[in-house]
Chain A
């Protein structure tokens, strides 16, 4: 367009017919319109368009510099109207501001009437309880309604009451209840009923509309009817009362004439039966609903079930062995059915533990019936022993044979379901029983080995069944024992240890699952056994026997998981070298000088026959007696035992390891010496042969542990893209990085936007404040001016009046 902006504007206005002469060419007068053809709206639109056209700053065009000239992209321009959007924003802010301003310094809103919602002194349970009682009260009050006869109604009512009274109060409007209940007792509210009826009929038949007069008539009729009814009832009641009043004297006289006792008895009987009835009803209410009884299973099914159970347990054990902890966080939803049904799972104990006791009860019951009775008698007088001293004090009055029965009696008479607190007591008792078993194995001096064994095994059986239920207290007790044992070892070295400690380790292995990758009781036990095996000085036969038994126990621990215990190998080396009947110099000469020997006088006897002993069992009790001298036979038994332990270790644990050759290397040397010194002795040779055999089977070739999938090296240099699309934001092949960048960009954008908005808001607020102040200021000044004006005019008026008066007077003079 040529020409100046003003000229253009003028021209456009003229073209549109807003300005200039209305009729350019001397239009005919008859042709003249009364009003313009333009509608007012249309006119406004046109003007807006023109305004837009001539105000280039209202529109902002984003030019895309990247897009090639002439392409379609170039044609589409993003157009924005910053001025207008600004204005809209301003308006919105103003609205919000005004809304805020109008709410300022005003209270109100929704009031939370829920019971105890804001009360911090109440616990969640108390709140719930209170709400529940209120709800119940509301319900029961609604139930007392006189017309409440059938069940449906009842349910409805309950429902209605529920919804109304859930939060401990009725909804009201100006203090009147909004509940839609029919309470006919109130005369006025009868009206409501009729209205409700009318409404319902209305719903049924919406076409017919009642006139107001009809409605009123009905209402009046109904109210009259009910009034009559009520009056009748009232009269009847009055009559009844009167009758009773009249008869009162008669009844009283009759009552007085009756023999008193009988009457009381009768009343009592009635009461009793009522009570019985009540209790029955209550019991019935509490009783669980009957379930169909399980079908008696066939033997096959039972066996199958047992197998399944076992395989499940086995699988769980293997998982634990491989370090997969699945039941670490067991949620509520994972708890089995029996948890929900069984309540406190007290029945579990009944299932497991007394199984054995009951069986044994029968066995033992046959030989002495009254003995059994006596035991239960004595036990019943006792409180559950909570310390070792208490238990000992209780048991020492009885013969050793009865101990198992007595302990069983304790367990039976303190079952958790019999009294509250029994569960905790038995838990502690489990630990006490453990300690008791340890202490008797240390202090028992009787020679009757068989009887003692029986007692020990009986007690252990009880302990094992108790462990099922009182796992946690038992574990804690075990840990305490471990700490004590280590403290003893630290203070007195091997003198602090005794047979009881070996019994403890055995019991732990016996009760707990030793194959776990990590176990809260077994792992510390393993560490402690390792410490003993490594640090006990082999300077007496007792110590060697102790360690040899420890090695046996350790082997039992590893019988399933087959984990390597380096201390075990160390002990075998030391023990075998110590037992070799050679002097230090001879050892050094045979290249065995590297092995540590704590004492040089503990040698095996100089001659050992080919197959010396059938039975090379080690006797646990020997350790208790430190002063005893060891016979040659026992020395041979010890040697044989250690060798057989070694044999077992080799064939069970080590054979699968890649370092089998390295592990057995030192033993080959030592066993060689044995074969040289004892040419007839078969055992070392057999082990050597075994080592050779297994060595051939062993996979002994270089490792390839680092055979991992190759990792891509991240590239950061830009890559040339064939079909580069500028709309695609990123060509990064790394997906995570891509996501990350996207996220970052978005965050940045949002942040920028939010900051902008916040700034705008604050600026707006500031402006508003200034405006406000200005307004206040000008108001004030206007007011003051007005007042001053008023005063001055009044003054002026008075003055002029005065002047006038003065003038008048002076003129009078």
Chain B
């Protein structure tokens, strides 16, 4: 160790400029300048980083020259002696590559050197594709080189690189690889999937990685829209002559599918990563699968995780599979019904739940019992919900009743109308019926088909006509008015909150002066507000 920049420069220049082979030994000297990256400390690395970058950059054109001189391909060597030289050069070259990969994989902190190494490595990969092909212009992709890179990338273990919010990896090398290479080049995508499929099959190797890190990296690389098979993808090829095999779409699909499933089956993934995956399931995963129904197990597992949002998203995925890919999933609505808990109205994902529930229940071919159970349960929950939740339940229930008119009996039971022209017997029987009546709804029943909600009635919604917020009270009156509106647009009601309600109130103009209290109420505490003292 200890060559300065200028020395490196002269060495590299000497090798590159003249074809004098005696200088080649300097390459070994230069490569030996690299430290053992696994032992490098972050504090002491700062000074060396500069020199190392310079070294890397200097060596890159040296090997470029070697490529150009054809001294890295032993199979093309003209004589025995040449072949020997080529083999030696190749060995040196491999050791250079190994150093680059080590820099990527072993450093436990982020440096820009790793990014430079990646760039240089990818350039070398391109050179290999040109010069190491069986003959000039023959299609060739150096997949072994790529595989080594993938392994290095996956090995790279930088503390705190997993984003807590969405489970992506923030590792800059990964991001660089994804942004500059994976997203842009179709051949890299194809071979990346192919090589990863081989890696994934190697269970020992997989176990050696940290699952969270691994999946985070995978997400960072895969979570975009510019894919091999997508129609509007804008992709180029990286190497000049990629092999024909690359056009095998089915192979790509099956590789991708294999990779996804293998990675999704990793144990101990955090909830955030499940969430991220489920969020992009529709657009970025399902379309590229050969048999999307294979996701069913993953989705069921996600549902069983117990997190409300993840369960909901899993149901959303299942719904998509049922709708588009003929998946049979008999317990779907039961599972959905189980998510309607008292907590639901007070959590953030409420509007998403209601939006999706509206979608799931949009079929007119589901049973009235089931719809009635949902209506009744949601209505029950409104009794301790904030006004924003209540106003979003109203239009949903309205639309459901409109779609399933059989459920109207929950709002209007003609058997209990007070008829002013009834005979005394009828009046007596009505009175008896009213007295006999007990609510048959079973709130604790888990299966929505058996809750008997259809025989109950929506007193909850009726009571909300005396809600303290005038808008909610007025909206509640839609259930006692004729159902003339075709349906309500649910989106208009979903995104209310205390904030927006209050904003709407305080920006209102003072047209009429607020009315004052005219009664005397004594002192404020104790008499006006009782059981409270100053």
- B residues within 8 A CB of A512? 514-517
Q: Which residue of B lies closest to A509 (CB)?
A: B528
Interface string of A316-330 (1 = CB under 8 A from B): 110010010101100
Within the complex, which residue of A323, A479, A483, A704 is in contact with B414, where a contact is CB–CB below 8 Å?
Answer: A704
Surface stretch bound by A, among B214-222, B331-339, B462-470 = B462-470
B502 touches A511 (CB 8 A): no
- A residues within 8 A CB of B466? 562-564, 657
Q: Which residue of B lies closest to A474 (CB)?
A: B514
**With A523-B469, A564-B467, A596-B343: A618-B531 Cβ-Cβ less than 8 Å:** yes
Chain A residues 509-545 with CB under 8 Å of chain B are 509-514, 516-524, 526-528, 530-531, 534-535
Chain A residues 558-573 with CB under 8 Å of chain B are 558, 562-567, 569-570, 573
A522 touches B462 (CB 8 A): no
Q: Does A290 reach chain B (CB closer than 8 Å)?
A: no
- List 17 additional contacts besides A523-B505, A528-B502; criterion CB under 8 Å: A456-B524, A510-B517, A511-B517, A523-B469, A535-B498, A549-B532, A566-B384, A619-B533, A645-B531, A657-B463, A658-B459, A658-B463, A659-B462, A661-B459, A703-B457, A704-B414, A706-B482
Surface stretch bound by B, among A67-75, A180-188, A465-473, A788-796 = A465-473
A567 touches B386 (CB 8 A): yes
Shortest CB–CB separation between residue A353 and chain B, in angstroms?
A: 13
Interface string of B375-400 (1 = CB under 8 A from A): 00000101111110010000000000
**With A527-B505, A618-B533: A700-B437 Cβ-Cβ less than 8 Å:** yes
B434 touches A701 (CB 8 A): yes
Within the complex, which residue of A523, A618, A707 is in contact with B412, where a contact is CB–CB below 8 Å?
Answer: A707
A457 touches B439 (CB 8 A): no
B412 touches A703 (CB 8 A): yes
Q: Does B342 reach chain A (CB closer than 8 Å)?
A: yes
A513 touches B384 (CB 8 A): no
B515 touches A617 (CB 8 A): no
B413 touches A703 (CB 8 A): yes
Chain B residues 496-528 with CB under 8 Å of chain A are 498-499, 501-502, 505-506, 508, 510-518, 521, 523-526, 528
Q: Using a Cβ–Cβ cut-off of 8 Å, how many residues does chain B contribute to the interface with A?
A: 73
Chain A residues 589-615 with CB under 8 Å of chain B are 594-596
A468 touches B516 (CB 8 A): yes
Within the complex, which residue of A452, A471, A553, A567 is in contact with B534, where a contact is CB–CB below 8 Å?
Answer: A452
B463 touches A479 (CB 8 A): no
B534 touches A456 (CB 8 A): yes
Within the complex, which residue of B386, B411, B526 is in contact with A706, where a contact is CB–CB below 8 Å?
Answer: B411
**With A534-B386, A708-B482: A703-B458 Cβ-Cβ less than 8 Å:** yes
Within the complex, which residue of A507, A526, A569, A705 is in contact with B480, where a contact is CB–CB below 8 Å?
Answer: A705
Interface of A, helix, strand, loop or mixed by DSSP: helix
- B residues within 8 A CB of A503? 524
Q: Which residue of A lies closest to B381 (CB)?
A: A566
Shortest CB–CB separation between residue A124 and chain B, in angstroms?
A: 26
- B residues within 8 A CB of A9? none
Q: Does A552 reach chain B (CB closer than 8 Å)?
A: yes
In the bound complex, how far is the Cα of B534 from the Cα of A452, in angstroms?
9
- B residues within 8 A CB of A665? 443
Within the complex, which residue of A449, A467, A479, A618 is in contact with B532, where a contact is CB–CB below 8 Å?
Answer: A618
In the bound complex, how far is the Cα of B460 from the Cα of A185, in angstroms?
96
- B residues within 8 A CB of A526? 468-469
- Residue pairs across A and B with Cβ atoms less than 8 A apart, 5 shown, are A323-B470, A527-B505, A566-B385, A617-B532, A701-B437
**With A520-B514, A705-B412: A486-B502 Cβ-Cβ less than 8 Å:** yes
B380 touches A662 (CB 8 A): yes
**Residue of A468, A527, A621 ringed by the most chain B CB atoms within 10 A:** A527
Chain B residues 387-431 with CB under 8 Å of chain A are 387, 390, 408-417
- A residues within 8 A CB of B415? 702
Q: Does A453 reach chain B (CB closer than 8 Å)?
A: yes
In the bound complex, how far is the Cα of B531 from the Cα of A659, in angstroms?
28
In the bound complex, how far is the Cα of B473 from the Cα of A562, in angstroms?
13
Q: Does B433 reach chain A (CB closer than 8 Å)?
A: yes
Q: Which residue of A lies closest to B533 (CB)?
A: A617
In the bound complex, how far is the Cα of B439 from the Cα of A517, in angstroms?
32
Interface string of A707-724 (1 = CB under 8 A from B): 110010000000000000
- B residues within 8 A CB of A617? 526, 531-533
- B residues within 8 A CB of A452? 534
In the bound complex, how far is the Cα of B414 from the Cα of A534, in angstroms?
38
Q: Does A430 reach chain B (CB closer than 8 Å)?
A: no
B524 touches A662 (CB 8 A): no
Q: Does A476 reach chain B (CB closer than 8 Å)?
A: yes
Q: Top 10 A-B pairs ranked by shortest CB distance?
A: A702-B413, A706-B412, A570-B384, A659-B459, A531-B498, A524-B505, A658-B459, A513-B515, A705-B480, A702-B457
A621 touches B384 (CB 8 A): no
Q: Does A663 reach chain B (CB closer than 8 Å)?
A: yes
A513 touches B530 (CB 8 A): no
Chain B residues 468-494 with CB under 8 Å of chain A are 468-470, 473, 479-480, 482-483
**Residue of A310, A316, A616, A706 ringed by the most chain B CB atoms within 10 A:** A706
A704 touches B413 (CB 8 A): yes
In the bound complex, how far is the Cα of B412 from the Cα of A530, in angstroms?
31
Shortest CB–CB separation between residue B279 and chain A, in angstroms?
A: 26
B532 touches A552 (CB 8 A): yes
- A residues within 8 A CB of B342? 594-595
In the bound complex, how far is the Cα of B528 from the Cα of A476, in angstroms?
24
**Residue of A327, A507, A519, A703 ringed by the most chain B CB atoms within 10 A:** A703
- A residues within 8 A CB of B501? 527
Q: Does A460 reach chain B (CB closer than 8 Å)?
A: yes
Within the complex, which residue of B383, B416, B518, B534 is in contact with A621, where a contact is CB–CB below 8 Å?
Answer: B534
- B residues within 8 A CB of A562? 466
- B residues within 8 A CB of A595? 342
- B residues within 8 A CB of A701? 416, 433-434, 437, 457
In the bound complex, how far is the Cα of B210 from the Cα of A410, in angstroms?
74
A449 touches B534 (CB 8 A): yes
Shortest CB–CB separation between residue A114 and chain B, in angstroms?
A: 38
Q: Which residue of A lies closest to B474 (CB)?
A: A323
Q: Does A375 reach chain B (CB closer than 8 Å)?
A: no
Within the complex, which residue of B468, B523, B528 is in contact with A530, where a contact is CB–CB below 8 Å?
Answer: B468
Q: Does B341 reach chain A (CB closer than 8 Å)?
A: yes
A711 touches B482 (CB 8 A): yes
Q: Does B144 reach chain A (CB closer than 8 Å)?
A: no
Q: Does B233 reach chain A (CB closer than 8 Å)?
A: no
Shortest CB–CB separation between residue A463 and chain B, in angstroms?
A: 11
Chain A residues 637-676 with CB under 8 Å of chain B are 641, 644-645, 657-659, 661-663, 665
Q: Does A506 reach chain B (CB closer than 8 Å)?
A: yes
Q: Does B250 reach chain A (CB closer than 8 Å)?
A: no
- B residues within 8 A CB of A517? 470, 473
In the bound complex, how far is the Cα of B511 from the Cα of A661, in angstroms?
41
Q: Does A364 reach chain B (CB closer than 8 Å)?
A: no
In the bound complex, how far is the Cα of B531 from the Cα of A616, in angstroms?
7
- A residues within 8 A CB of B411? 703, 705-706
Shortest CB–CB separation between residue A430 and chain B, in angstroms?
A: 13
Within the complex, which residue of B382, B409, B437, B516 is in contact with A513, where a contact is CB–CB below 8 Å?
Answer: B516
Q: Which residue of B lies closest to A320 (CB)?
A: B515
Q: Does A391 reach chain B (CB closer than 8 Å)?
A: no
Within the complex, which residue of A472, A567, A705 is in contact with B479, where a contact is CB–CB below 8 Å?
Answer: A705
In the bound complex, how far is the Cα of B502 from the Cα of A323, in angstroms?
20
Shortest CB–CB separation between residue A800 and chain B, in angstroms?
A: 101
In the bound complex, how far is the Cα of B443 from the Cα of A511, in angstroms?
43
Shortest CB–CB separation between residue B419 and chain A, in angstroms?
A: 10
Q: Does B529 reach chain A (CB closer than 8 Å)?
A: yes
Q: Does B346 reach chain A (CB closer than 8 Å)?
A: yes
Shortest CB–CB separation between residue B464 and chain A, in angstroms?
A: 7
In the bound complex, how far is the Cα of B341 from the Cα of A533, in angstroms?
20
**With A701-B433, A705-B411: A472-B513 Cβ-Cβ less than 8 Å:** yes
Q: Does A475 reach chain B (CB closer than 8 Å)?
A: yes
Q: Which residue of A lies closest to B515 (CB)?
A: A513
**Residue of A328, A486, A620, A704 ringed by the most chain B CB atoms within 10 A:** A704
